[in-house]
Chain A
Amino acid sequence: MKIQLNGVERIRAEKAVVYGFITDPNQVGQCLPDLQELTVQDQHHMVAIVSIGIGPIRGTFKMEAAISPADGEGLALKLKGSGMGNGLAMESRMSLVAVTDGTELHWSAEASVSGPLAGVGGRLLEGQARKTTEQLFMNIRKALETGSQAAG
């Protein structure tokens, strides 16, 4: 099951600050919704344990994440993981545009879900995926605007 999502987050922070934040696994990693545990491996890679609950399926997923530059000034965030017999993958692209009072973070993501989540959670999945993904970028904005690294 593939889900396409996109959005724009308007952040009251300078472009260079935003760029520095989202390329730092220590900072961006803390913005993953329902984060249980984060292990940063190097400046591009981290392993996150997140809890996920959709319909009757609840439990933790172990996600491997990689942040890398893409398309000029853009960035790619790739997540791949599994939990409770499910497979989850997300490829997200971000680009930054400087605006008068800060920075616009344009993002798009394609998530693919395999396993019981896709079947049992089928009808609920799209809404939940949108909520979780939007939460990630909202957390990034909040963290940048409040200076706090842990949000959501």
Chain B
Amino acid sequence: MVETVKILGQPMKRKEDPRFIQGKGNYVDDIRLPNMAYMALVRSPYAHARINSINKDAALAIPGVVAVITGEDLAAAGLAWMPTLAGDNQMVLATGKVLFQYQEVAAVIADTREAAYDGAAAVEVDYDPLAVLVDPHKATAPDAPILREDREKRSNQIWHWESGDSVSTTSVFTNAEVVVKQAMYFPRCHASPLETCGAVADMNKFTGRLTLYVTSQAPHAYRTVLALVAKLPEHMIRVVSPDIGGGFGAKVGVYPGYVVAVVASIVTGRPVKWIETRTEHLTSTAFARDYHMTAEIAATRDGKVKGLRVHTLADHGAFDSQANPTKFPAGLFNICTGSYDFESAHVAVDAVYTNKAPGGVSYRCSFRVTEASYLIERAMDVLAAELKMDPVELRRKNFLKPQQFPYTTPLGWTYDSGDYESTLNKALNLIGYEELRKEQAEKRARGELMGIGVSFFTEIVGAGPSKQFDILGLKMFDSAEIRVHPTGKAIARFGARHQGQGHETTFAQIVGHELGLNPADILVEEGDTDTAPYGLGTYGSRSTPTAGAAAAMAARRIREKAAKIAAYLLECAEHDVVWEDYKFHVKGAPERSVAMGDVAFAAYTNVPPGLEPGLEATYYYDPPNLTFPYGCYIAVVDIDKGTGEVKVRRFLAVDDCGTVINPMIVEGQIHGGLTEGYAIAFMQEIPYDESGNCLASNFTEYLVPTAAETPAWETASTVTPSPHHPIGAKGVGESPNVGSPAAFVNAVVDALSPYGVRHMDMPLTRHKVWKALREAGVTE
């Protein structure tokens, strides 16, 4: 135990890395059980078609094929449909008709993976194609085909949601000196983690117990959902989420393949493994974004923003299978007033069905915060262009001031803390903003294209307080259970489930900091519902705000008891015991001290009379509010007029995520998220053709940046702790994905602004930029 160094804030190396970088992680596909069978899914080639018949014979004739399961088979057991986390229903295997291309139609179970795929190719399905709805803008047109025949409501509209005051916002706009309006599309994209989704279902018919190994960011929620859907007693279900190779939101929802694997294990009496291919993952596992947004800002001529009005058309595909908190159908999209002091705001979102893959999950984002952040940061630049103001000065003029916190937005959120101007100034100094603007002016005079893009985002993370936040009724608290062993080592278990975020290290640092134990001596364990305390899982940057807080609170509970034992060992009254420099000492006599290790040993060997033996605690943390991390991101780009290629020359991220637990891990998360943000801004989209064919079904179409494309990232931080979090932390994992797309697009639009370009939709491919230049008359 190094006592002079604070444990929090140390760039400790990640405890999980030795196994990961040596290829020794234990992922779902590494699990091999005796007598295990494999499952492959038959998927629809059509986006919308009636199923006339399914013929299993040819598939069953293939050597090694054990069983073929169809939607009709599931319907007989009442399992053809399942609830989504968004309160919609989703087909497990199609009955009657298919609603999107690559929809799950049948499952083939075989002795080997190869036989399962051969069997899937041999299943004969007779379809009658139906009219296809691809364009969400036409979803509610009178001639649009009604997609969801299962719903009472004969309309493709799923829901309409509003936030804010429509009347006062209209009045602000009516009286405004300046109004800007911009339509923008945040394209359909995909989290596409390196590890696709998969499961091994093992129904032991002798014990009656189901073990489901599954790629899940929220194993406890899965257990409860399984109990409710499959009508299995919850204590007879064990969900294990082993090492997860990236989730980014794609592994929050329950997918049809998981449910079918469970049924297949029950039917065959064998463990059944199902692992998606990359194409299956990209084409059927929940997509992200796909928001068609229109933003309007009302402002004064000198650049004071007054009102924000937003309308969004949300394309959810065939089923609303996003994973939002129940009361928030559009997630936390109404964080879209961002970092600015608006008088009034109003947001409306209409969600519709189309014949596309279902979803709307939050890809590395706290429930639609990325869309909201992109919207306001892009709209602020549009306003700056209209007012001929520097976008930095426009932002500065409208920032919330430190003395305004806690600040309640016109859309109802109460921001915990912030000092925006200090973070902005730090970023401007580090990047050399004034010099860059001078350089840009010189280059423009020479006809060269250079752009500077600024994004100053405010996130809302750490869902959330039980009064507002639940998923299917389950309140969104999170938990920690800590046991200190007699020799001063400990195990800490959490309801969260990391997928590469570094919990095994950062949570050990929190517990170590609170208990005066070396983080190396604390084993962090997550992902097994038999051992971990109940929790809602890891997404929406909620681990540190909720489970991390629970870690601190559980440790403090242990410290309270430890203080009694320390008093006994130090032979003083409990109120004379002081906790300082990671040990207990007698008030006024620091030389008379005991370390937590001594106390732990006594808890099992020399228990004070009347005190319960042992040293452990559990804490369920219900956060009093969300946390509001923020940051200033600046991109500098150069554009080749001849090819349309955008080179990101510099990118600076200054993040304020409150107290930093491990700066090395935070920096790593920022690097990863910026790389994803870069890909979204410049490379990625999942388009569909007019027949509903998915045109980005693999990594040759859906591009992932390699080291060659990825810009060099510069990072820095400011620290404004959250006043309500036990250690002042706010969460950071998603900030770079949330904040960076607007910085990239603002930079490109800034570069092209001499040609009258005011907005371009992502992805900003070379072709799109080249075309914009040609349309502007550039011929060189």
> Among the interface residues B45, B46, B689, B697, which one has the most CB atoms of the partner chain A within 10 A?
B45
> Is the C-beta of A119 less than 8 angstroms from some C-beta in chain B?
yes
**With A2-B690, A87-B45, A114-B101 in contact, do A119 and B695 touch (Cβ < 8 Å)?**
yes
Chain B: number of interface residues, binned into ranges: 20 to 34
> Is the C-beta of B339 less than 8 angstroms from some C-beta in chain A?
no
Complex: chain A residue closest to B42, CB-CB? A85
Report B298 CB to chain A, min CB distance, Å: 44
Q: Is the CB of A114 within 8 A of B121?
A: no
> Is the C-beta of A1 less than 8 angstroms from some C-beta in chain B?
yes
Residues of A with C-beta under 8 A to B120: 85
Q: Is the CB of A85 within 8 A of B697?
A: no
Report B351 CB to chain A, min CB distance, Å: 26
**With A85-B43, A86-B45, A114-B129 in contact, do A1 and B121 touch (Cβ < 8 Å)?**
no
Residues of B with C-beta under 8 A to A122: 693, 695, 701
Q: Is the CB of A119 within 8 A of B691?
A: no
> Is the C-beta of A65 less than 8 angstroms from some C-beta in chain B?
no
> Is the C-beta of A113 less than 8 angstroms from some C-beta in chain B?
yes
Q: Is the CB of A119 within 8 A of B693?
A: yes
Q: Is the CB of A120 within 8 A of B693?
A: no
CA of A1 to CA of B701, assembled, Å:
16
Instruction: Choose one: A1, A59, A82; the contact of B693 (CB below 8 Å).
Output: A1
Q: Is the CB of A120 within 8 A of B121?
A: no
Give A77-88 as 1s and 0s: 1 = Cβ < 8 Å from B's Cβ atoms.
000001011110
Residues of A with C-beta under 8 A to B45: 82, 85-87, 114-116
Q: Is the CB of B698 within 8 A of A115?
A: no
> Is the C-beta of A18 less than 8 angstroms from some C-beta in chain B?
no
> Is the C-beta of B127 less than 8 angstroms from some C-beta in chain A?
yes
CA of A39 to CA of B693, assembled, Å:
31
**With A114-B129, A119-B696 in contact, do A85 and B121 touch (Cβ < 8 Å)?**
yes
Complex: chain A residue closest to B701, CB-CB? A119
Residues of B with C-beta under 8 A to A113: 691, 693
> Among the interface residues B47, B689, B693, which one has the most CB atoms of the partner chain A within 10 A?
B693
CA of A120 to CA of B700, assembled, Å:
9
> Is the C-beta of B279 less than 8 angstroms from some C-beta in chain A?
yes
Report A10 CB to chain B, min CB distance, Å: 34
> Is the C-beta of B178 less than 8 angstroms from some C-beta in chain A?
no
Residues of B with C-beta under 8 A to A59: 121
Residues of B with C-beta under 8 A to A118: 689, 691, 693, 695
CA of A82 to CA of B121, assembled, Å:
11
Q: Is the CB of A84 within 8 A of B121?
A: yes
CA of A118 to CA of B696, assembled, Å:
10
Complex: chain B residue closest to A87, CB-CB? B45
Q: Is the CB of B47 within 8 A of A114?
A: yes
**With A85-B121, A87-B129, A114-B129 in contact, do A119 and B46 touch (Cβ < 8 Å)?**
no
Complex: chain A residue closest to B43, CB-CB? A85
CA of A114 to CA of B129, assembled, Å:
10
Residues of A with C-beta under 8 A to B695: 118-119, 122
> Is the C-beta of B694 less than 8 angstroms from some C-beta in chain A?
yes
What are 9 contact pairs spanning A and B, CB under 8 A? A82-B127, A85-B43, A86-B45, A89-B129, A114-B693, A115-B45, A115-B46, A120-B279, A122-B693
